[in-house]
Copies of this chain bind each other. A is one copy, B any other.
Amino acid sequence: MLKRCGYNPLLVPADVKPSNPRFQVDGIFNCGVARYRGEVILLCRVAESVRQTDENKLEIPVVVNENGKDVIKTVVYDKKAQPEFDYSDSRSVYKKGPKGRRTVANLTSLSHLRVARSGDGIHFTVEDRPGIMPIASEESWGMEDPRITQIGETYYITYSAVTEHGVCVSLMKTKDFQSYERMGIIFGPENKDVAIFPEKIGGEYVAFNRPVPFGIGMPSMWLAKSPDLLHWGRQKLFMATSHEGCWDEGRVGGGAVPLKTEKGWLVIYHAADAADRYCLGVYLLDPEHPEQILGKLEVPFMEPEADYEKEGFFGNVVFTCGALLQEGNVVIYYGAADDKICRADIELEELYRMLGV
């Protein structure tokens, strides 16, 4: 049985010191997970917005480069004087583009990545300062949803690199969770939810990715391959969205970085229905041929049910970027309602039974 941790939520916005005195923390969620020097590290997405002082205005943080230095500036919308923008979505300001296209003029919050540490995997301490802040040239609208893949002693981190020109997926690496080296965009826009397998398979690196096409197709799970982690190709559709009315009708994409088990790759992924209710599903994939599904559960094994999952910045969401194997348990760290970090455990044997493997 899936067991939600009794200490949930493990981390909430009040646990996070804003990076700037003018900011408020809207959420700490969608964290990459790693083991490092006997501790569990969560690399958390921290979303911040400007504390608004005038209800007729909306002030939005973005990163700009001034005289060679990356600084955070604010864009100010005057809601009355600028009725051509749509302010109804708490996450974005929209504008009307060509041909009736509704495009995002700005995100209301700016996300950075921050480390939280724990000795027991339950009680976490969030660092007082951002681990890594977005830079104007690569992530002027923020860094989101990191996933950590450990290969040898190097931790490779994929994340959504957001600018006004699109949501790309970029790669960086660290050996100590103190200094990070940016390695650039690995998937062009629009893509998200890249989970790199922790070893080469058949001589190549393998990653799930979730393109978001405009004209044809839905946000679905694709599998790509790479010789060097920097250049990716040989894209194949892995799993498409399902039919009308299903839990995975709206989107389906990578979740936790795949876990290596004795029976194959255990993949915990996300899917959402037409109402943006995000659940978690699970696959078991062939150890040598990750495009081959050995077991699949047709229903979600985890749905937003707890109050802290149903209510928040964006409710009815459970969303994972990373899980750990620990003494026969799969320990899932997940974002709840786009503002909190939680934990749930399930026995590996029980997942095998569900998957019929």
Q: Choose the segment among A230-238, A290-298, A335-343 that binds chain B (4+ C-beta atoms closer than 8 Å).
A: A230-238
Interface size band for A: 35 or more
Residues on B with C-beta less than 8 A from A216 are 103-104, 141, 162-167, 189-190
Query: Roughly how many angstroms separate A140 CA and B226 CA in the complex, as a whole number?
Result: 26
Interface core residue of A184, A191, A216, A236 (most chain B CB under 10 Å): A216
A10 within 8 A of B: no
Residues on B with C-beta less than 8 A from A249 are 98
A167 touches B213 (CB 8 A): yes
A139 to chain B, nearest CB (A): 12
A209 to chain B, nearest CB (A): 7
Q: Which of B165, B214, B231 makes the CB contact (< 8 A) with A190? A: B214
A38 within 8 A of B: no
A291 to chain B, nearest CB (A): 13
A32 within 8 A of B: no
Interface members, chain A 237-276 (any B CB < 8 Å): 237, 240, 244, 249-250, 273-274, 276
Interface core residue of A163, A211, A230 (most chain B CB under 10 Å): A211
Interface members, chain A 89-104 (any B CB < 8 Å): 97-99, 103-104
Q: Which of B168, B231, B233 makes the CB contact (< 8 A) with A184? A: B233
A selection of 14 A-B contacts at a CB cut-off of 8 Å is A98-B274, A104-B215, A165-B218, A167-B215, A167-B217, A185-B233, A187-B188, A188-B211, A188-B224, A190-B216, A226-B233, A230-B234, A231-B231, A232-B233
